[in-house]
Amino acid sequence: MMRRATLLVPVLAALLLIPASWLLAQDPQMTLDSPELGPHRRPLVVFPHARHENAVGECSRCHHNNCDTQGKCSECHKAKADGNPVPLKTAFHRLCKSCHEETARKGPAAPPVMCGQCHK
């Protein structure tokens, strides 16, 4: 009895660990939480990155300006306006909303355009 119980422990542990690491490797949803914009006044935005890769196709539609696609927007877009192409919050809003509004106009998809649909 003792022997069987000690064998079961690592087997159960392995069963629990495999699906957890598999889910982490997938990372289909990103929670956008730029520290430069903190402390956040609105609820954090959950961004389904993998779904956008399928819907949009071109990485450079969002990761633009010869950005190597690994970069965070805040590498170029600083929170404050001085010496900055477009401040960080405006950069996010302009990119997300312009495409969602355009998509909604064409239909049938209706991605979020209201504050509470993204900040929830």
**What residues numbered 17-46 form the site for ligand HEC, per CB under 6 A?**
30, 32-34, 37, 40-42, 45
Question: C-alpha 107: how far from its chain's center?
Answer: 23
Q: CA–CA separation, 87 vs 109, rounded Å?
A: 29
Task: Output the CA angle 100-53-107, nearest 5 degrees.
Answer: 35
- Binding of ligand HEC at residue 104 (CB under 6 A)? no
- Binding of ligand HEC at residue 78 (CB under 6 A)? no
Nearest to 96 by CA among 32, 11, 15: 32
- Binding of ligand HEC at residue 50 (CB under 6 A)? no
Q: CA–CA separation, 110 vs 32, rounded Å?
A: 21
Among 14, 67, 87, 101, binds ligand HEC (CB under 6 A): 67
- Binding of ligand HEC at residue 120 (CB under 6 A)? no
Strand partners, 32: 45
- Binding of ligand HEC at residue 76 (CB under 6 A)? yes
- The residue written with tokens 């949009």 in the block is 56
Residues contributing to the site for ligand HEC (CB under 6 A): 30, 32-34, 37, 40-42, 45, 47-49, 51-53, 55-56, 59, 61-65, 67, 69-77, 85-86, 89, 91-97, 99-100, 103, 109, 111-115, 117-119
